[in-house]
Amino acid sequence: MSTFAPGYLANHPLPTGITGALSLGGYQLLADVAGVGAGRLGSQMFLLAAGDPDPSAPDPGTQISLHQAKLRDEHEAAAFIQLAAQLGYLRLSGYRLVLERAGLRSKISLMNPATGAIATRIPEKHPGRLLGGGVTATSILATVRGLPSAGPPPDTQSPELLREVLLALALRDDTLGGADAAELADRALTLAQGDASLDPAAALEAARQSGG
């Protein structure tokens, strides 16, 4: 289960040495769920992830993965945001993200701790059109959306955890920007706290229908 507080990546940005070397100073954080997010600067798009804390090792800090230097269209940008949200949701439901440094960037392995199996691997850089072999943010998203649960659903009795779940689900909608998804999640949280019969999906739908 994730131990990352809401807004973790906003409070723990990429180290300045990495942003300087990759010319990413001033990047925009477009998603931030359970220590996983999507960032953008101009045509550059990438995943951000905080490694699981290990008491026996130094803090791994926030790292960058699937770095794409040149987006082809806005649909690709939406796929990065949705992928970050889905990875965050899977982390909330029990999966572990194992980060492996590869130069300035990192590879991410999504591991099911119940079996020890690696469900999918995300490269440190987007392979591009010629070398991609079908590996894109969109294709990885399709893979992780089909994964089974690693354990019991997140304990939504915790307001902070429930809000993270709601935000992850709201960010699946590629018509919503990060701010709109956060606003929708906040409205859904209020509704869910007022009606215990609403599960997260139903609370989001009710928030959509209410329109604020």
Same domain, 174 and 82: no
Same domain, 70 and 173: no
Residue type, 192: A
Q: What is the pLDDT of residue 23?
A: 94
Q: For residue 109, name the pLDDT band (cuts at 50, 70, 90).
A: very high
Q: Is residue 200 part of a domain?
A: yes
Q: Is residue 153 part of a domain?
A: no
Same domain, 104 and 47: yes
The total domain count for the chain is 2
Same domain, 49 and 135: yes
Q: Is residue 151 part of a domain?
A: no
Q: What is the pLDDT of residue 129?
A: 60
Condensed to tens digits (0 to 9), the pLDDT of residues 58-87 reads 777 899 999 999 888 888 889 999 999 999
Residue 133 has pLDDT above 80, yes or no: no
Higher pLDDT, 8 or 134: 8
> For the whole model, what pTM was predicted?
0.87
Region 186-204: mean pLDDT is: 89
Q: Is residue 1 part of a domain?
A: no
Burial class (CB in 10 A: 0-12, 13-18, 19+), 59: exposed
Query: Any residues with CB less than 8 A from the CB of 100 and at least 6 apart, and which?
Result: 106, 107, 108, 109
Q: What is the pLDDT of residue 198?
A: 87
Q: What is the pLDDT of residue 107?
A: 96
Sign of CA dihedral 115, 64, 177, 166: positive
What is the rounded CA–CA span in Å between residue 176 and residue 174? 5
**H or E element at residue 38:** strand 36-41
Region 156-162: mean pLDDT is: 83
Q: For residue 212, name the pLDDT band (cuts at 50, 70, 90).
A: low
What is the rounded CA–CA span in Å between residue 49 and residue 38? 9
Q: What is the pLDDT of residue 131?
A: 54
- Domain hosting 198: range is 159-210
What is the rounded CA–CA span in Å between residue 9 and residue 135? 25
